[in-house]
Structure 1
Amino acid sequence: MTTSAAPSPAPRRIVLIAGPSGSGKGVMTRRSGLPLVPLDEFYRDEDDPSLPRRFGIVDWDDVSSWNVGAALEALTALAHDGAADIPDYSISASRRVGTRRLEVGAEPLIVAEGIFAAELIAPLAAAGLLVDALVLDRPAPLVFGTRLTRDLLEARKGALTLVRRGWALAGEQPADVERWKRAGMRPVGLREGVRTLHALRDLALAERHHRGTASAPQVLRIAAVCFLREGPTGIELLAVRKRGTGSYMQVGGKLEPGERAVDAAVREVIEELDVVLEPEDLELLGLFEEEAANEPGTLVEASVFLAPLDSLPRDVTVQAELEDVLWCPLGQAPPGRRLAPLMTRRIVPRLQELLG
């Protein structure tokens, strides 16, 4: 068994803020001085055929217009690595018009705000990254006025469309706030919210200093499979991202009771890629111990196997619990994506050693 690496620095914590469009979520965060991730930047482009519509335009208040997976990826990278690429989304053009690099340095707390913030409560809590979730609750007439003023100044859409949309949202605001509260978000006013953010930053800073007192980590036994292919610039390694997580890793999963690691590897490949391999097709790359990517305070004991070169179709598709797939040039992390510690610290160095 390869000995585990030194523990990574404590990840930054995340506070989520929801509230009606135009209620002042961004203002509250700017007054706190904390790094801000505007979740509105993760809307889908207008030419996406699945986008919902209302009032003759894309319904920006329907969660299906928003890319929760991309938001989760960026927040996970910020929490662990301190930097991520954030889309620059134009509401008036209804599409992404660029990206910007957000770097948060040593700041222990990050704010993510938007009307869909509640969608991130469960995955961020499961990853040990969530410190709190707030909903900004202000009077509906005030919010209607500030929202309309903002939208008109930014020429987001035609004036009549903005008035109709704003009037409808004002009527829906009480129910929306109750829904956010039921999801586990604490209601705050603007000034109270700023004070709360300052207190949460102090808490996150204290937790970082006291991380060394944590109890012994849980250990998970897993099997994983490395798929390689010849890419345009050399050998590429397959990485996948599971639904509700922000890190990429190899195909694989936990061993069932009494199951051999190689049999678990074959089973996971069938479940996640719909590809059938035989146990004799797989070569043991190594036995590794490393920090888990998505479970806080957990180590993985991984039996990692190597599949034959080019054993997957060129346009591999994912299923089951997987949401995304990418091919990474060996030894070169794709920008804006977080790769699991097992992959970066163990698997890639072993493959580079093996392949010369």
Structure 2
Amino acid sequence: MTTPSPSRAPRRIVLLTGPSGSGKGVVSRRAGVPALNLDDFYREGDDPTLPRRFGIPDWDHPASWDAGAALRALTALAHDGAAEIPTYSIALSRRTGSARLELGDAPVLIAEGIFAAELIAPLAAAGLLAEAIVLDRAVPVVFTLRLARDLREHRKPVPILLQRGTALALQQRDDMHGWVRAGLRPDGLRAAVRRIREIVVHAEAERHCRPASAARSRLRIAAVCFLRDAPAGTAPGTELLCVRKHGTGSWMQVGGKLDGEESAREAALREVEEELGVRLHAEELDPLGEFEAVAANEPGTVVHASVFLTRTPLPGPLQVRAELAEHRWIPLENDGAHGNGGRLAPLMREHILPALRRREASRRP
């Protein structure tokens, strides 16, 4: 059995929200903390599912924003200190490229945007949330700042900017009440800067005082690796199925906790049927190994995993079920840090991918 490798404490995340134009970017700059602009995770303007208002995409509606992609990026930044971030043009209503964000030794990251409240629950569950703040500023001030910014950046025609700005001003107090009910702390601009600086000081202290080997609980799980040959038209090689659970940002294998007295193989078969709707036979699962790693989504927990592999073909198009949000296939030669748009769970990165590569290499003539 392979034991878990030591892991550095992940960076803490401050969620910062408030009305459009209220000064969220100003707070990040004054606090001296690296920031992720959640606006860069808006959906493409030609997406037929994008809500519209005033004849343009409704950038104030949560459905205009890709929460899953934002959560994957934040998870990678918290644990790995770097991630590839899309760049989005509000004026063009589309993504224009991407850029790599690297945090260095910063112990705290700010994630700022009007939809930050949607990330409170998943980040808290993952042990990454430091604070959730909403900027509380006077309606006329916000209206003026927003209009000046939108005009300066030529975001949209002036009549639309005035119409949208007036509507946002009229609903600002109701929005503020909603943010506070969601668990955000209302602060003025200066108070928010002071609070974030305090969080940085505390995070630095925790980093230096953290025990070398903190006590962890252990969780027994079974996981299944589905392998396939890369499709025609792509680079030759072997691909591995990875999945992401709702409200999480890490890619992992199909599988889960053992239920009662069931064996690891029984649990693997049950999880495959529950999560993929596929019924396998016991003989279709080959043991890959027994591994331990830090849990991707449960703070202070180590998973002890019985890992199996199979080349049984999966139905297409594959539809994930139960607690799974999405699936992707990645090459076995993946660099181990990111799985096509997100962070690979430690079990995958540290143990499963290396073991699969060794096994595949032994099969070659």
TM-score by length of 1: 0.96
Aligned residue in 1 for 2:97: 98
Whole-Å separation in 2 of the counterparts to 1:142 and 1:228: 57
Shift of 1:313: 3.5
Equivalent residue, structure 2, for 1:339: 344
Which segment drifts farther, 292-301 or 253-262? 253-262
Deviation at 1:261, TM superposition (A): 1.3
Aligned to 2:301: 298
Q: How does 1:163-174 map to 2 (within 5 A)?
A: 163-174=162-173
**Do residues 241 (structure 1) and 244 (structure 2) align?**
yes
Deviation for aligned residue 1:319: 2.0
| Structure 2: distance between partners of 1:46 and 1:257 | 49
- How far off its partner does 1:211 sit? 2.1
**Separation (CA, whole Å) in 2 of partners of 1:190 and 1:42:** 24
Is 1:223 matched with 2:222?
A: yes
Partner of 2:329: 327
- Which position in structure 2 is the counterpart of 1:287? 290
**Equivalent residues of 1:233, 1:329 under 8 A apart:** no
Residue ranges of structure 2 left out of the alignment (5+ in a row): none
Determine if contact 2:5/2:293 at 8 Å carries over to the other structure: no
Which residue of 2 is the match for residue 209 of structure 1?
A: 208
Q: Is the 8 A contact 1:223 1:253 kept in 2?
A: yes
1:267 aligns to 2:266 (yes or no):
no
8 Å contact from structure 1 (residues 230, 310) kept in 2: no
Deviation (angstroms), 1:346: 1.0
Q: Is the 8 Å Cα contact of residues 221 and 255 (structure 1) preserved in structure 2?
A: yes
How high is the sequence identity, in percent, across the aligned residues? Answer: 60
SS in 2 for 1:277: coil
Task: Within 5 Å, give how 1:59-208 maps onto structure 2.
Answer: 59-208=58-207
Residues 77, 336 of structure 1: 8 Å contact kept? no
- Indicate the larger mover: 346-355 or 57-66: 346-355
Q: Residues of 1 paired with 2:48 and 2:210: CA distance?
A: 46
Q: Which string of whole-angstrom CA distances, capped at 9 and with x for unpartnered residues, describes residues 234-285 of structure 1?
A: 0111111111001000011111111221111111111211211111211111
Report how many aligned residue pairs link the two structures. 354
Q: Which whole-Å CA distance do the structure 1 matches of 2:160 and 2:217 have between them?
A: 54
Counterpart code for 2:77: L
Instruction: Point out 4+ residue stretches in structure 1 off by more than 4 angstroms.
Output: none
What per-residue deviation string (whole Å, max 9, x for no partner) do you get for residues 53-86 of structure 1?
Answer: 1111111111111100000000000001110011
d(CA) in 2 for partners of 1:127, 1:40 = 22
- Cα distance, 1:215 vs. partner? 5.0
The match for 1:40 is 39
TM-score, normalising length from structure 2?
A: 0.94
Which has the larger displacement, 329-338 or 62-71?
A: 329-338
Query: 2: distance between equivalents of 1:310 and 1:96?
Result: 37
Looking at structure 1, the residues matched to 307 and 96 of structure 2 have their Cα atoms a distance apart, in angstroms, of: 40
Q: Which amino acid aligns with 1:289?
A: E
Amino acid corresponding to residue 157 of structure 2 in structure 1: G
Equivalent position of 1:11 in the other structure: 10
1:9-31 residue CA offsets vs partner (Å, 9 max, x unmatched): 11111000010000000111111
Q: Which amino acid aligns with 1:296?
A: P
Determine if contact 2:224/2:309 at 8 Å carries over to the other structure. Answer: yes
Please, which runs of 5 or more residues in structure 1 have no aligned partner? Answer: none
Amino acid at match of 1:198: R
What displacement does 1:196 show?
Answer: 1.0
Structure 1 residue 336, shift from structure 2 partner: 4.5
Q: For 2:63 and 2:260, locate their aligned partners in 1 and report how far apart those are by CA, in whole Å.
A: 38
Deviation at 1:145, TM superposition (A): 0.6
Deviation of residue 184 (structure 1)? 1.0
Query: How far apart in 1 are the matches of 2:226 and 2:125?
Result: 28
Q: How does 1:309-328 map to 2 (within 5 A)?
A: 309=311, 311-313=313-315, 315-328=317-330
Deviates further, 176-185 or 206-215: 206-215
> Aligned partners of 1:253, 1:49: CA distance in 2, in Å?
35
Who is 2:280 aligned against? 277
Distance in 2 between the 1:268 and 1:199 partners?
44
Residue 229 of structure 1 aligns to a residue in which SS?
strand
SS in 2 for 1:184: coil
Over aligned residues, Cα RMSD in angstroms?
A: 1.3
State how 1:44-63 maps to structure 2 within 5 Å. Answer: 44-63=43-62
